[in-house]
Structures are given as structure tokens and as C-alpha cells.
Amino acid sequence: MKGIVFTEFLELVEEKFGLETVEQIIEQSNLESKGVYTAVGTYKFAEMVSLLTNLSNLTKITPEVLLKTYGLHFFDVLVQNYGSIIASYKDPMELLSSVDKHIHVEVRKLYPDAELPRFQIIEQTDDKLVLIYNSSRSLYAFAIGLIEGSFRYYDETATVNYELLKEDGSSVKFEIIKK
Ligand code: HEM
């Protein structure tokens, strides 16, 4: 997993829960990296799972809620760091239907070692998009946050329904309906 996902995560944890919480979850997580991340480095996905699990235990907030909140915030990080990619889309529906075929393809060129999900388009109209998320990392709640973040960025709103196609969350159907 790319370092930017860790650095921004720990920054948000510090902002919401304080530096002590950051230090506590790093200590509890037994990390190979020792919790020292650079944005362009690559680290084991298992480290994110440990940090998230320990944060969830400490705050009593479910990993799903934490990930969704982080996804919402991460969209703003993407705007700051990859603004030119996002600027090529006129609205969130167009952007979301291009993640798999364009956006993550560009990301892969920048970072050949990126671990990216797949999004299969099932249905697409002006105000409805049905996607199937597939990833062994089961970060579907992070995806929901990113989807909501993209609507917020364009000053639009949507209803996002989801259905786990596999119990472990590695395959999830999203139904995005523009309001
Ligand atoms: C300019 C826009 C975007 C850029 C530059 C971008 C880039 C990235 C990067 C760098 C990662 C980390 C890969 C790794 O850690 O190895 C990632 C992961 C991810 N991206 Fe994107 N992304 C963008 C938009 C989106 C959007 C709009 C969605 C939601 C539909 C999305 C869904 C995800 C998910 C769910 C992951 C986590 C990995 C997984 O689930 O397997 N991305 N993306």
C-alpha cells in the first residue's frame, strides 16, 4: 500500500483523536515500518489493517465508519495531489465511471506497485451508476467515502446503496443515485 495512504491516515487520526492516540496505535500495531512512512514509499497492507483495528478498539468506532470517514477526507487529498486528473471531469458521475478505465490506469503508470481495486460498470445512465467493486483488500467502506467525497467536491449529492456480494467484503455492488 502506498505511503500517502498511511501518512494521511495518521494525520487525520491526529486531527480527530490527538497525537497520543497516534502513538498508542503505532505502539500496539507491532509495525515493520515502526510507523515511519513517506508518501511515495510502499508498505505492507497488513500494517493498515493493524492500525485500523487498534484505532477501532480504542475509539469503539467500527472499522467501516472509520474507513468511510477516511475515504471522504482522502478525496480532498486526491484533489490536492492529483488535481489535474480530477479537473478533466465535469461531474462526479463521469469521474466515478472513469476510475477503472482511466484514473487508476494513470495511477498505475505513476506507481507500478500500487494495489488498486477493480470497478466493473453494470449500469450507467445520467443519474444512476451501478458498479461492482473487487479487491482482496475489502476496502469498500473507503470507496463509499471516496464516492461521497467526489459528490461533495462538485457540490452535488447522491444516495449510495451497497450490497456485499462476498461476505468478506472483497466483492461489493454499489448503486449510486444522483439526487
Ligand atoms: C484522481 C483520482 C484518484 C487517484 C489519483 C487515486 C489514486 C489511488 C491510489 C494512489 C491508491 C493507493 C494504492 C496503493 O495503496 O497501493 C488508491 C486506492 C484506492 N482507490 Fe483510488 N484514486 C482516485 C480516485 C478514486 C475514486 C473516485 C475511488 C472510488 C470509487 C477510488 C477507489 C479506491 C479504493 C477503494 C482504493 C483502495 C485500494 C483497494 O480497495 O484495493 N479511487 N487510489
Percent of the chain with pLDDT over 90: 99
Give the pLDDT score at 157.
Answer: 97
Cα 79 to averaged position of ligand 1 atoms, centre (Å): 12
Q: Judge contact between 92 and 85, C-beta under 8 A.
A: no
Rounded Cα gap, residues 38 and 161, in angstroms: 35
Distance of CA 97 to the CA centre of its chain: 16
Same domain, 79 and 154: yes
Ligand 1 pocket check for 135: Cβ under 6 Å? yes
Ligand 1 pocket check for 96: Cβ under 6 Å? yes
Question: How many folded domains does the chain comprise?
Answer: 2
Q: Where are the beta strands (DSSP E) in 34-127?
A: 118-124
Give the pLDDT score at 18.
Answer: 98
Same domain, 117 and 157: yes
Same domain, 94 and 172: yes
Give pLDDT tens digits for 10-28: 999 999 999 999 999 999 9
For the chain, what is the mean pLDDT? 97
Residue nearest to atom 15 of ligand 1 (CA): 1
Same domain, 106 and 48: no
Cα 37 to averaged position of ligand 1 atoms, centre (Å): 18
Which among 61, 79, 102 is the end of a domain? 61
Same domain, 155 and 119: yes
* Reported confidence tier of residue 75, pLDDT bands at 50, 70, 90: very high
| Structural domain boundaries, residue 146 | 67-178
Same domain, 130 and 146: yes
Same domain, 119 and 33: no
Helix, strand, or coil (residue 158): strand
Give the pLDDT score at 49.
Answer: 98
50 burial via Cβ count (<10 Å: 0-12, 13-18, 19+): middle
Give pLDDT tens digits for 133-177: 999 999 999 999 999 999 999 999 999 999 999 999 999 999 999
Percent of the chain with pLDDT over 70: 100
Q: What is the mean pLDDT of residues 123-131?
A: 97
Tell me how far CA of residue 135 lies from CA of 1, 12, 83, 96, 169, in angstroms: 13, 24, 25, 17, 8
Which position has the grid cell 495518521? 10
Q: Where are the beta strands (DSSP E) in the chain?
A: 118-124, 128-134, 158-164, 171-178
| Terminal C-alpha separation, the chain | 34
* Reported confidence tier of residue 108, pLDDT bands at 50, 70, 90: very high
Nearest atom in ligand 1 to 86's CA: 1
Which among 61, 82, 109 is the end of a domain? 61
Same domain, 79 and 12: no
Rounded Cα gap, residues 32 and 30, in angstroms: 7
